[in-house]
Structure 1
Amino acid sequence: MLKPMLAAGLFALVCTAHADDGYPTQIRIGIQKGDGLVALRASGKLEQAFAPHHVKVTWHEFVYGAPLVEAINAGDVDVGTVGSTPPIMAQAGAAPAVVYVANAPKLVKSYAIVVPKDSPVKDLHDLKGKKIAFAKGSQGHLFVLKAMRDAHMDPDSAEFAYLSYGDARSAFERGFVDAWAVPDPRYADTELSTGARTILTIGELSVPQYGFYISTRSFAQKYPAALRLLFDQLDRQTRESLAHPQDTARFLSGNTGVPPEVWDRAISRLEWGVSYPIADDVLNAQQDSANLAFETKVIPRRIDVRQAVLQIK
């Protein structure tokens, strides 16, 4: 008969092995129009990869990151990709179950602050006293705040219009806002359809910005193998998609309804990809964003982003 301590130890080993090797019956993935998961969904290859493990894959589209975070926290979605702001707000109180599990490459050209083509605005300083649109809690939220900090501008020197992408597009075209922080492919779409002019891209900020893949702590702890399989398939698909941009543009147009000419412009500047475990320099940059979020009262308390990281290896 096993002694109690030995039995407990063996039980723990069995549980650990199960957690490392186990797969869920389904994996529910949250996506946004411009992220690399869109190409993976369109390819059907993830379903093929999960089939031997009897895992059903479902896809859930969101217009921006904050609602996706809410869905993950509520248990309606298992994993998804967002910008830097939503997980910061989640950790600060809105969705404490959410954790970082991987990151996308540094954002450089796929997010911009744009103004109408005939606007007299030349740079950020010209937006003093004017309206800047972005979705509250989105990547654009901290993008604008960081840009203003870099320019030594008081955030109160401009008026923020918290609008969804659809409402922001309408307000921008009708002249109700003076600038818009917008990601691809919507960025490319508004350039092509309205002649919008870029005054700042996200890669020009003093501190790098990254996208992140998030999950719940319980899912990531129980099914790391499922997340590794997802990310490895995403990495393969990303390399294939970016190596054939014209084919990818046509492919994605049919899958998303976004015109191929928009994807043609957007694909060359999209920062698709995935890395895990998350490197220290990425976490340092995210901590800078979290500090700024507290200092500008986007979140109610200081946070340590590393406390919300679950490294899968």
Structure 2
Amino acid sequence: MHIRFAWLLPALISNLLVVNVALAKQAPVYPEQIRVGYQKGNSLVVLKNRGTLEKALAAHGVKVIWREFAFGPPLVEGINSGDIDIGFVGATPPVIAQAGAAPDVTYVGYTEPYQDNYAIVVPKDSSAKQLADLKGKRIAVARGSAGQYLLIAALEQAQLKLSDVDEAYLGYSEGRAAFERGDVAAWVVPDPRLADTELNSGARPIVTARTLPIQYSFYIAPRPFAKRYPETLAIVLQELDATEHYVQTHVGEVAQLLSDDTRIPLPVWQRTLARQPWGVHFPLSDTVIANQQQVADAFYRNDLIPKPVRVADAVVNIEANP
């Protein structure tokens, strides 16, 4: 009987080797550290303060390093150069990166879309009631920001073109100053600056993101890191989602934390958090990719990027850990 089945032994050994190799390939690999790029006033600040990410990754021997950025473009460059491993940006920076010299910037997760937390506002005594009333007027907007796409989408919805208004490319501080001096007729602005100007100057929205094509914000990562360490990124995104749902039931506590962090008054953060849509999701769905492609197409159509881009080419699918 032993002789009869002896020929099976090499085949069994070969199959076991194949199975073991396959299992070895599927085993998660974790880095020694993950460098998280963040800006003041968003969920990453809350996650950093809670310390839950450090606890979740400690079990895998991963150290968390936090790196603060004053604004988006340097953070995107840090992603492309591999100096940070994950960061949070609006819809337009990844499009600009993909159309330029930043091919290693990839989408790995996304947030709930903007609602009433991003708007085009006019002074409280403005006669403008709708966007068409701003034809030929100066509108302050941050160049390359999510607000610039919001403005394009709002104009197209009103059957107007970007050339029908005079864009004043101003950063948020400069934009607010110009708005309050009356140098511009309107300002495209997100929370918490939106809530701040509503509370302090009586500015009123004439268009909000809620009424426009859906626009998301994204978590981005360098392509090499996302491809090699998807399980690590999944842990970060899962902890971010848990943090956002924590905020929903701890609004007062988080408003105070963000007020202390940014030196923006507490009532501003209370209004901001009350209308903030919560949730972090991954991987990117076909619907999300299609909506982001609309952003890319709008930027190319208006000569704001040098070439068309295919958003799907910059997506890395991160699956949830069990």
On whether the aligned pair clears a TM of 0.5, the verdict is: yes
Name the structure 2 match of 1:99.
106
Map 1:221-240 → 2, pairs under 5 A: 221-240=227-246
Higher mean C-alpha deviation, range 168-177 or range 138-147: 168-177
Aligned length: 306
Please name the residue that 2:144 is paired with.
137
Are the equivalent residues in 1 in contact too, given 2:86–2:221 (CA < 8 A)?
Answer: yes
Contact 1:106 1:208 in 2 (8 A): yes
Matched-pair contact (CA < 8 Å) for 1:34–1:183 = no
Q: Distance in 2 between matches of 1:67 and 1:179?
A: 27
Secondary structure class of the residue paired with 2:300: helix
The answer to whether the 8 A contact 1:66-1:138 is kept is no
Question: Structure 1 residues 271 and 181, CA, compared in 2 at 3 Å: closer, same or farther?
Answer: same
Say if 1:92 and 1:303, in contact at 8 Å, map to a contact too.
yes
Cα drift, residue 148 of structure 1? 0.7
Q: What is residue 73 of structure 2 aligned with on the other side?
A: 66
Q: Does 1:178 align with 2:185?
A: yes
Residue number in structure 2 paired with 1:55: 62
Distance across 1 between alignment mates of 2:187 and 2:151: 9
Residues 66, 137 of structure 1: 8 Å contact kept: no
Identity of aligned residues (%): 47
Structure 1 segment 108-119 matched on structure 2, within 5 A: 108-119=115-126
Q: How big is the shift at 1:247?
A: 2.2
Aligned AA for 2:290?
Answer: N
Going from structure 1 to structure 2, the CA distance change for 1:132 and 1:62 (only over 3 Å counts) comes to: farther
State the partner residue of 2:157: 150
2:287 is the counterpart of 1:281: yes
Question: 1:283: how far off?
Answer: 0.9
Query: What is the alpha-carbon root mean square deviation over aligned residues?
Result: 2.3
- Residue 121 of structure 1 corresponds to 128
Residues 36, 273 of structure 1: 8 Å contact kept? no
Moved more, 34-43 or 150-159: 34-43
Q: Deviations over 1:272-307 (max 9, x none)?
A: 321111111111111111111111111111111111
Partner deviation per Cα, 1:241-264 (whole Å, 9 max, x = no partner): 112212221232233332211110
Letter in 1 for 2:55: Q
Query: Match for residue 81 of structure 1?
Result: 88
Q: After the TM superposition, which of the residue ranges 65-74 and 160-169 deviates more from structure 2?
A: 65-74
Distance 1:66 1:238, change over 3 A: same
| Structure 1 unaligned residues grouped into runs of 5+ | 1-5
Q: Residues of 2 paired with 1:210 and 1:153: CA distance? A: 23
| Aligned counterparts, 1:1-12, within 5 A | none
Match of 1:241 in 2: 247
Q: Which has the larger radius of gyration?
A: 2
Q: Which moved more, 1:210-219 or 1:166-175?
A: 166-175
CA contact (8 A) 2:136 2:166 kept: yes
Larger mean Cα displacement after TM superposition, 73-82 or 151-160: 73-82
Deviates more, 1:92-101 or 1:37-46: 37-46
Paired position in structure 2 for 1:312: 318
Q: TM-score, normalised by structure 1?
A: 0.90
Q: Which amino acid aligns with 1:180?
A: W
For structure 2, which runs of at least 5 residues remain unmatched after alignment?
1-14
1:212 is aligned to 2:218: yes
Q: Whole-Å Cα distance in 2 between the matches of residues 171 and 12 of structure 1?
A: 63
| Compared CA separation, residues 219 and 123, structure 1 to 2 (3 A) | same
Contact 2:40 / 2:261 at 8 angstroms: preserved in 1?
no
| Residue 75 (structure 1) shift | 2.1
**Aligned 8 A contact 1:64 1:138 in 2:** no
